[in-house]
Amino acid sequence: MTAPITIASLCHDFQDFRALHDIDLEIAAGEYIVLLGPSGCGKTTLLSILGGFIVPTQGAVKIGGRDMTGVAPAKRPTTTMFQDYALFPHMTLRDNVAFGLRMRGMARRERHARAERLLELVGLHGDAGKRPHELSGGQRQRVALARALAVEPDVLLLDEPLGALDLKLRRTMQDELKSLQREFGTTFIHVTHDQEEAMAIADRIVVMNRGRIEDVGPPTRVYQRPASLFAANFMGETNRLPATRGEHGLETPFGHLAPPQALIGDGPFTVCLRPEQIRSGTEGWALGSARVGDSAFFGTHFRCHLHCEDEAATTLIAHLPPEVQPQPGARLALSVDPAQLSVFAAEEVSS
């Protein structure tokens, strides 16, 4: 029903292209892991290797302590929920969900009863006789989930499962996925490029880029204290300030800053500030005064462009609480809590 996974120094090449570099990852039994990254980062390749659809060029995959590197998909304790759901179009929902059980030789009556229980569980009670084309996108997604869970896999692999759904439905399905995972206790590995989705459901997020793991950790940690500049950018909007090593810390366009972490290397550095970390006030590290440019209301906050007056060229993006009522042209004193900042070695960042 559930199993831990160990991925050890995994590499994969597509002809001349190295899709995965030296991936090491430990996943605990019953964890909800989200592989997050832009398209082409290798997250889907990694999922296919876990599912057994691709044999890696190097390295090993252990599931539940057993080596699964070259084992065929059917012989693994994993099932995959495909991006396009891959429901069998010529079968009823009942037969779709019961298919895996049929392959395991379960008798018709028993497997149908089990399929119907699962359909009920995902909220499709009474639709067992329908065919996939009669369903909406969200319903198909539920059937695919029921079909994958019917064989009681140790590990469920989900390939962009919510990608085809509209935003509102996606939020609902995130909650359902999470609660089903809690109920079954199965290890879930879920691939997405949507960082909000990742934060909403993951126990741990694995941020990937160009075939490498950039960061692994719980959503709050990865968001607030990303391990790399890439992870910082990918997890959400950031303001990046250039910095160099000075006498007693960092020199930035806003003056001296005592580094919040130990610095690695000689610089130059990039200091990242999340928009919601910028406050109007003077406590902490003062950023001087700024004029409000464009400002848009988002319900929970105003998203403002702030033109810093002292340091001329810099424009910051800030999320200010509604009670600040930032009017375009108004002048604000800005500050941040230096403990919340992240500092990285500077590099070219392609957003």
Partner 1 sequence: MRRLQWGYLLLAFAFIYLPVASLVLFSFKDGSLPLPPFEGPTLRWYGEVLGDRRLMAALGHSLMVAVGSSLTACVLGFLAAYGLARHVLPGSLWLRGLLIAPMTVSYLIVGLGLLIVFNQLGIGLSLWAAGIGHVVINLPLCFAIIYASMGAQQQNIERAARDLGAGEARVITLVTVPMLAPAILAAFFLAMTLSWDEFVIAFLLTRFEVTLPVEIWSLLRSGLSSKTNAIGSIVFLGSAAIVLLLELFIFGRRRP
Shortest Å distance, C-beta 52 to partner 1: 8
Binding mask 103-142 for partner 1 (x = CB under 8 A): xx----------------------------x---------
How many Cβ atoms sit within 10 Å of the Cβ of residue 262?
A: 6
Of 160 and 214, CB closest to partner 1: 160
- Least distance (Å) from partner 1 to the CB of residue 184? 17
Position among 82, 276, 291, 319 found at the interface with partner 1 (CB under 8 A): 82
- Which residue has 């009017």 as its token pair? 327
**Is the backbone of residue 347 left (phi > 0), alpha (psi -120 to 50) or beta?**
beta
Stretch that binds partner 1, among 56-64, 71-79, 241-249, 323-331 (CB under 8 A): 71-79
Among residues 348, 306, 347, 350, the alpha carbon closest in space to that of 326 is found at 306
Distance of closest approach, residue 20 Cβ to partner 1, in angstroms? 20
Q: Which two tokens stand for residue 288?
A: 């001087």
* Identity of the residue, 99 or 254, whose beta carbon is nearer to partner 1 in the bound complex: 99
The residue among 79 and 228 lying less far from partner 1, judged by its C-beta, is 79
Choosing from 2, 44, 45, 79, the residue that interacts with partner 1 (CB under 8 A) is 79
* Smallest gap from residue 47 Cβ to partner 1 (A): 12
The separation between CA 1 and the C-alpha centre of its own chain, rounded to angstroms, equals: 24
Binding residue for partner 1 (CB under 8 A) from 151, 191, 232, 243? Answer: 151
Rounded CA-CA distance 250/153 in Å is 51
**Residue entry with tokens 């029921």:** 146
Contact with partner 1 (CB under 8 A) among 1, 28, 72, 264: 72
Q: One-letter amino acid identity for 140?
A: R
User: Per the structure block, which two tokens stand in for 79?
Assistant: 């099932």
Binding of partner 1 by 100 (CB under 8 A): yes
Binder of partner 1 out of 24, 26, 84, 337 (CB under 8 A): 84
DSSP conformation class of 12:
E
**Stretch of residues binding partner 1 (CB under 8 A), selected from 31-39, 100-108, 122-130, 177-185:** 100-108
Q: State residue 2 phi and psi, 5-degree precision.
A: -155, 150
Residue 80 is a binding residue for partner 1 (CB under 8 A): yes
Q: Is residue 310 a contact point for partner 1 (CB under 8 A)?
A: no
State both tokens at 222. Answer: 């990865």
Rounded Cα gap, residues 149 and 126, in angstroms: 19
Task: Choose the stretch contacting partner 1; rule: CB under 8 A; options: 75-83, 196-204, 234-242, 266-274.
Answer: 75-83
- Sheet containing 58-63, strands listed edge to edge, beginning at the edge strand earlier in sequence: 17-27, 5-14, 58-63, 66-67
Q: Residue 168: is it exposed, middle or buried by C-beta count within 10 angstroms (0-12/13-18/19+)?
A: exposed
Binding interface with partner 1 (CB under 8 A): 51-53, 72-74, 78-80, 82-84, 86-91, 99-100, 103-104, 133, 147, 151
